[in-house]
Amino acid sequence: MEMEEGEGSTEEKYDVDIATTASSLGGSGVFHIINDILGFVLYMYQQIPSVLQDMSLDFDGLQTEFTDLEANLTQPDVKPLVRRKLLSRKREVKHEIKKMQKLMTTISTLRSALQLLIREAPGVQRVVLILGGSPLRPQKAYELFFTHSVDVLRFEGDFSKNKATEALSKKTIRALISTGAGSTSCPGPMRLFILVQAPPSLNLPQHFLPKRDFRYNRKFVPLKLRFKCKTQDNETNPPFNYDTNDLIWFQCRHLVNNTQASILAGNRSTLLSAPTPISPGFLSAVPISICLGHSTRGRRRKKMIFKIEDVTVYFPYDNIYPEQYEYMVELKRALDAKGHCLLEMPTGTGKTIALLSLITSYRLSRPDSPIKLVYCTRTVHEMEKTLGELKILHDYQVTHLGAQAKILALGLSSRKNLCVNPKVLAAENRDSVDAACRKRTASWVRALAAENPNVELCDYFESYEKAADNALLPPGVYTLEDLRAFGKNRGWCPYFLARHMVQFANVIVYSYQYLLDPKVAGIISKELQKESVIVFDEAHNIDNVCIEALSVSVRRVTLEGANRNLNKIRQEIDRFKATDAGRLRAEYNRLIEGLALRGDLSGTDQWLANPALPNDILKEAVPGNIRRAEHFVHVLRRLLQYLEGRLDTENVEKESPVSFVSSLNSQAGIEQKTLKFCYDRLHSLMMTLEITDTDEFLPIQTVCDFATLVGTYARGFSIIIEPYDERMPHIPDPILQLSCHDASLAIKPVFDRFQSVVITSGTLSPIDLYPRLLSFNPVVSRSFKMSMTRDCICPMVLTRGSDQLPVSTKFDMRSDPGVVRNYGKLLVEMVSVVPDGVVCFFVSYSYMDGIIATWNETGILKEITQQKLVFFETQDVVETTLALDNYRRACDCGRGAVFFSVARGKVAEGIDFDRHYGRLVVMFGVPFQYTLSKILLARLEYLRDTFQIKEGDFLTFDALRQAAQCVGRVIRSKADYGMMIFADKRYSRHDKRSKLPGWILSHLRDAHLNLSTDMAIHIAREFLRKMAQPYDKTGTMGRKTLLTQEDLEKMAETGVQDMVY
């Protein structure tokens, strides 16, 4: 039950006090105030479709519609289909009229009853309006007190409304709104009761029945309003100048039944979504009725409902792009086939909303088999954006379908993003936030706190624990912000609440890692059922994410840290031996029984899961030689020593896991099986030792992680030891890398476990390579084009400089001064033609540094700065952010700016250069990976041997998807426009070019394939002029780019292919 906002608990306190200058309201005043408040309350709590004054208008409208319909039906030449429609509409309208009539008669009898009452007992002092199931258990109650001076207790005789009364009632309603009345909606239908306090002599049995001893539920607090009249002598007059005992309650026999069902479909959507409070300022100048009327009309929006095969799709916008519709059709087929799919659609075409609205609608249409949607995003920012879209969609669905459409959707992120405890949040990075949280929530810490009150605990977590199973989120869509607010409000820990709710939620939005990284997935995602739909958004780099999830690199620093950790563990073991030897023995016994049993661990203690994939973990007991804590520490010491020895090498070494393990066995005496259990054993040990500052123990965890992976996997990995960084051979920085080559390893369990996995992004070309890389069979794989009202992107391939010599970043041409000069000339010319922002991408940091130094020497940079300011991306995040910020400002104020950035850098992946922030993007060269990198070579070899993917093919594919990502930054919506220049002669070759995504290729004209600088300048001029002209957003007859509901219905009749070209 919802509580009223007012806090007036004693009789003397009033939530709203309204003073009038009149000495008495008089009977008519009282009547009108009651009447107006009645209307307001009914309206605000969505019991009637519009304000009372407007209702008669609506009623008239319905009647005319009814007569019109009748007239239409009598016409002889009505088609049967139309006739059926008209008939059903007529029935609806008739129904509405009846209901409306009923409502209006009730209200008018209520009014007359009130008038009678005031005639009989003019000095009425207390009136209560109650909304709810019964007067005893109200949802909302409004108590009105009227103070009168004794001498004017008479009734003037007529009920005409005078100006003073009108002003007063307006004032009242304004005051009511400012207290927040009506800002919360009550679920479900209700009835409205009226009670008045009057002397027992009142005799109106037809309208009012006495109700002695009336009192509502004790907990309930009504909202109290007092109308104070200006009385000269007795200002402090108590509200009851009769003896209170003399008055008894009378309940009015007429009650306004709920009329929610009678509200017209169009109206309903707006009314149910009314919880936005109307600001009091808004009402100050205009009469109240007009105001309320406007506010509903303004919000009345038409949205779309259409059918895709047998699924009714609810789409929260008025128009839909043709490609969105196609996307939904394909997605629906994939869901029907219970298979995986691969969909490419350019950014800026509303991929996310198409996806969400189809999947949620699909869920609604199959109520018997509820599917769960798991939506994986790359960044927290994208997560919030997705949830925002979902919120709009959800609101729309709920207004249309009512409570049955309610879902629970939430975002899940790390503690850093969800924690509300200020002390924990003070930690700077993610790992220390985690550790700080564990310090307060680990089970042994809490056990300790029970005895020792000085141990600090997290209040939020404690109250969450106390609420136990009652700690549930009500249905709705929760962004991270909402979760934090909810947690703060209730005093529950949002992080643990969210993790708990994951098993109940219908939609979960979280990061890739929660599914792909076995360390995290084992904890978070293990309870998802098979019927879930998994979506990977922006998944063009998914293979790299998979690989990273299973790769470990060990540096010298790591080993040193691990050594320190081991010392500390050693000390702890000794301490425990002295104080609590029983614990270690208990652990030993548990290990004999098998380590896989983790059932005894509480939720907060799960913080380390095995880095290997669930299917590859042996369900066996831990081998004997590491069961005892000190033995295990010895094993780890030996492992560290061995690794240190390996790091001391002078040469680059590459080894397979098998040979690494055998040499480890012969030199350090550690077997494969022992290695395999390292991670679990460490976890168990740290648990036993009750270690909470996990962030300090990261190095030893990394080492054990490495050991376990080496022990578990023989194929798909290799171990590479490099004594120094290739680019800086003079600085020794040995690194030992266990690199995974097979992206399919990490994602395989996801494909196996779940019914449908959707992989989608703006750039997935060539689309046939992804299934091979990830080794799965998609039932649908398609690439969609962008439908545009105008050619708003202009890709060009520039092969020659201004001196007609070829340009390229090929290794042998890279340092050629001619190429560098030509690139410089290109940029100088371009900045004088292109307004506002220009973005340049280079193939690597070193190349960028080199070329900029040369440009600086030859004065090219100076020429550029005459036109535009120049900004750089550096490897320092703060510096880059600052540069980006200033770049945007330079674009805003009209100075114009150039941003130099690097493909595969942070900027290329996550920052948008839309609108005037990027009118042109130049890709200097083809962003191949560093081909001499040992890891890459090993991976290429593996790909060739296992998947029969040629090295060249993979490298080109990878380079081109990076290039497409870079240039794709420039256009983020259809209203936007931008140019893309691929400045390298290699782009003109078919094998390279064909790997660009379809939506870029379709705009790449043959004439633009082999350009020199001067030609490109001319094209740019023409293009920019053309784009600056005003245009129609909806598209012309032939090319429709915004479909309305009618268009879709037509399409359903004629077949999809007809509209979508």
Partner 1 sequence: MSNQRKRPNGEREEDDEEDDAEGIGQWERAYVDDRSWEALQEDESGLLRPIDTSAIYHAQYRRRLRMLSAAAAGTRIQKGLIRYLYIVIDFSRAAAETDFRPSRMAIMAKHVEAFIREFFDQNPLSQIGLVSIKNGIAHTLTDLGGSPESHIQALMGKLEAAGDSSLQNALELVHEHLNQIPSYGHREVLILYSALSTSDPGDIMETIQKCKKSRLRCSVIGLSAEMFICKHLCQETGGLYSVAVDEVHLKDLLLEHAPPPPAIAEFAISNLIKMGFPQRAAEGSMAICSCHKEVKIGAGYTCPRCKARVCELPTECTICGLTLVSSPHLARSYHHLFPIAPFDEVPTLSSSNDPRRKLGKSCFGCQQSLLGAGNKPGPCVTCRKCKHYFCLDCDIYIHESLHNCPGCESTHRPKSVSLLEE
Q: By CB under 8 A, name the binding residues for partner 1.
A: 832-836, 866-868, 891-896, 915-916, 919, 1005, 1007, 1018-1019, 1021-1022, 1024-1030, 1037-1039, 1054, 1058, 1061
CB of 111 to partner 1, least distance (A): 41
Q: Is the distance from CB of 760 to CB of 345 less than 8 angstroms?
A: yes
CB of 836 to partner 1, least distance (A): 5
Q: Is the distance from CB of 1024 to CB of 793 less than 8 angstroms?
A: no
- The whole-angstrom separation of Cα 15 and Cα 295 is 26
Of 530 and 1005, nearer to partner 1 (C-beta) is 1005
CB of 1027 to partner 1, least distance (A): 7
- The whole-angstrom separation of Cα 652 and Cα 647 is 10
DSSP state of 246: G
Continuous segment of H or E residues that includes residue 646: helix 629-647
Tokens found for residue 1009: 């394939």
Of 13 and 294, nearer to partner 1 (C-beta) is 294
DSSP state of 82: H
CB of 310 to partner 1, least distance (A): 24
CB of 392 to partner 1, least distance (A): 27
- The whole-angstrom separation of Cα 834 and Cα 896 is 9
User: Among positive and negative, which fits the CA dihedral 616, 617, 620, 624?
Assistant: positive
Q: Is the distance from CB of 874 to CB of 902 less than 8 angstroms?
A: no
CB of 984 to partner 1, least distance (A): 22
Of 519 and 888, nearer to partner 1 (C-beta) is 888
- The whole-angstrom separation of Cα 801 and Cα 807 is 6
Of 308 and 834, nearer to partner 1 (C-beta) is 834
Q: Is the distance from CB of 705 to CB of 611 less than 8 angstroms?
A: yes
Reported in sequence order, the residue ranges of 223-265 that DSSP labels E, i.e. its strands, are: 223-228, 248-252
Of 613 and 797, nearer to partner 1 (C-beta) is 797
- The whole-angstrom separation of Cα 537 and Cα 839 is 25
Pick from 234, 23, 226, 2: nearest CA to 127:
226
- The whole-angstrom separation of Cα 331 and Cα 326 is 8
Tokens found for residue 895: 């100075």
Of 299 and 895, nearer to partner 1 (C-beta) is 895
DSSP state of 320: B
Of 825 and 919, nearer to partner 1 (C-beta) is 919
SS3 404: helix
- The whole-angstrom separation of Cα 981 and Cα 968 is 11
Tokens found for residue 674: 């022992």
CB of 821 to partner 1, least distance (A): 22
Of 868 and 993, nearer to partner 1 (C-beta) is 868
Of 225 and 1024, nearer to partner 1 (C-beta) is 1024
CB of 864 to partner 1, least distance (A): 12
- The whole-angstrom separation of Cα 887 and Cα 913 is 10
Pick from 1012, 839, 1022, 821: nearest CA to 922:
839
Reported in sequence order, the residue ranges of 653-792 that DSSP labels E, i.e. its strands, are: 653-655, 717-724, 732-740, 756-761, 778-783
- Helices (DSSP H) in 1008-1044: which residue ranges? 1013-1027
Reported in sequence order, the residue ranges of 964-1004 that DSSP labels E, i.e. its strands, are: 978-983
- The whole-angstrom separation of Cα 968 and Cα 445 is 51
Of 536 and 871, nearer to partner 1 (C-beta) is 871
Reported in sequence order, the residue ranges of 414-551 that DSSP labels E, i.e. its strands, are: 476-478, 507-511, 533-536
CB of 79 to partner 1, least distance (A): 17
Reported in sequence order, the residue ranges of 199-300 that DSSP labels E, i.e. its strands, are: 208-210, 223-228, 248-252
CB of 1058 to partner 1, least distance (A): 6
Q: Is the distance from CB of 344 to CB of 767 less than 8 angstroms?
A: yes
Of 921 and 936, nearer to partner 1 (C-beta) is 921
Up-side HSE of residue 854: CA atoms within 13 Å toward CB? 17
Pick from 366, 359, 20: nearest CA to 163:
20
CB of 896 to partner 1, least distance (A): 4
- The whole-angstrom separation of Cα 926 and Cα 920 is 17
Of 526 and 889, nearer to partner 1 (C-beta) is 889
- Helices (DSSP H) in 314-350: which residue ranges? 322-336
CB of 717 to partner 1, least distance (A): 51
CB of 886 to partner 1, least distance (A): 14
CB of 1054 to partner 1, least distance (A): 7
Of 169 and 799, nearer to partner 1 (C-beta) is 799
Of 504 and 1061, nearer to partner 1 (C-beta) is 1061
Residue with tokens 């996990």: 694
Of 646 and 868, nearer to partner 1 (C-beta) is 868
Of 726 and 1022, nearer to partner 1 (C-beta) is 1022
Q: Is the distance from CB of 270 to CB of 300 less than 8 angstroms?
A: yes
CB of 514 to partner 1, least distance (A): 40
CB of 917 to partner 1, least distance (A): 9
Of 354 and 1019, nearer to partner 1 (C-beta) is 1019
Continuous segment of H or E residues that includes residue 982: strand 978-983
- The whole-angstrom separation of Cα 968 and Cα 1010 is 21
- Helices (DSSP H) in 75-155: which residue ranges? 80-120
Pick from 429, 432, 426, 437: nearest CA to 464:
437
For residue 251, the cross-strand partners are 195, 209
- The whole-angstrom separation of Cα 803 and Cα 1013 is 9
CB of 920 to partner 1, least distance (A): 10
CB of 1020 to partner 1, least distance (A): 9
Of 392 and 1060, nearer to partner 1 (C-beta) is 1060
